[in-house]
Structure 1
């Protein structure tokens, strides 16, 4: 979930040969398909404790709202080799206003406070982008190391047209005139020889554009 408002249990899916580690926003990446289809309740995720949640109820409350923190977790793992628990990242962002929490309702991730958080706490240089064309991503990825792109979550099923654009964050790692390469925190795992849509998902720019809302957060180099 994202917002432009200002204000064995698999911890990581297989990502052989990729420079950027992959992490799912749900702790059991191999069970993501069952979670997406409603066949597995989040309270039954066997690896929930790895999230850093205080208890399973906190995990179930937050796990479907932390796509942005899963992207940050991947960036930090790639940069430093350290793996931060996803909910620990989310919890640390709250004093900056990266999420709005009202009772059981969680809204976020809100870009400007998130940028302040990652700069002050993690030493990352980040920049918010809006009104960004998909065709501009290759040039952006020449300047930035990563781009957290707002897409519709149904990008996990690229043969299906989305009802709208945006609402979910993926981590774009490479972009060219021919393809956009990204890690999707809520992608489907590979099953029965069918390729998954979690790590190093690849789409033609025209297909990516169907889901892309033209906004996100660039993580700059250095």
Structure 2
């Protein structure tokens, strides 16, 4: 089995407030099977908890809502309320944070997402681009959370990813040594919540862009 992301043996910064964990699929224990093709979203018995109006809607959207799962986590941390993930995506759609193109879904699109946060939740955020992992401590000195674009293989940090970006994780703390984050598509307990990776390891997956959510 590939090595799993783990906090073990890696000293790092502590997250500044407890953040409840939510996966982008409703049954976290199925994520490993879903991302490796051994199961499908249609087999998720908890799909209704997503706010999807049908199983078809859940299947269509659940692979695209890593950003909404990050939002669900930060909203729960701030307010104690749990917002259904697919319902959040439906709310974001008219703001342009997602674009439906036939059978395809494009997004998360950062600038409209920032406007969605402001309009729907009164949350201040800004788009961050053209940075490196070395900039993350300074970003997190100003931000409460950072939705970071990473390659989804970050769940297996020993992998050499084929590229960077394509998936969002919720960074909750960063120092010159390490990054702490929650991964909506973590495949096991060690790769989901409060994962700590050395800064350089995180950088192998980091696309140098994301959304910084400012303190509220």
Question: TM-score scaled by structure 2?
Answer: 0.91
Larger RCO, structures 1/2 (Cα 8 Å, 6+ apart): 2
Aligned to 2:47: 48
Runs of 4 or more consecutive aligned structure 1 residues displaced over 4 Å after TM superposition: none
Is 1:218 aligned to residue 205 of structure 2? Answer: no
For the residues of structure 1 that align with 2:137 and 2:40, how far apart are their CA atoms?
38
Whether contact under 8 Å (1:31, 1:189) holds in the other structure is no
Aligned pairs for 1:1-222 within 5 A: 19-190=18-189, 196-222=190-216
**1:131-160 CA distance string (max 9 Å, x none):** 111111111111100000000000011000
For the residues of structure 2 that align with 1:219 and 1:41, how far apart are their CA atoms?
32
How far is 1:124 from its partner?
A: 0.4
For the residues of structure 1 that align with 2:38 and 2:153, how far apart are their CA atoms?
18
How far is 1:31 from its partner?
A: 1.3
For the residues of structure 2 that align with 1:107 and 1:120, how far apart are their CA atoms?
21
**1:81-121 CA distance string (max 9 Å, x none):** 00000011000011111011012100100000000001010
The unaligned stretches of length 5 or more in structure 2 are 1-16
The unaligned stretches of length 5 or more in structure 1 are 1-17, 191-195
Whether contact under 8 Å (1:98, 1:108) holds in the other structure is yes
Q: CA RMSD in A?
A: 0.8
How far is 1:188 from its partner?
A: 1.3
Whether contact under 8 Å (1:32, 1:186) holds in the other structure is yes
Question: TM-score scaled by structure 1?
Answer: 0.89
Residue 173 of structure 2 aligns to a residue whose secondary structure is: strand
Aligned to 1:12: none
How far is 1:29 from its partner?
A: 0.6
**1:53-72 CA distance string (max 9 Å, x none):** 00101000000000000000
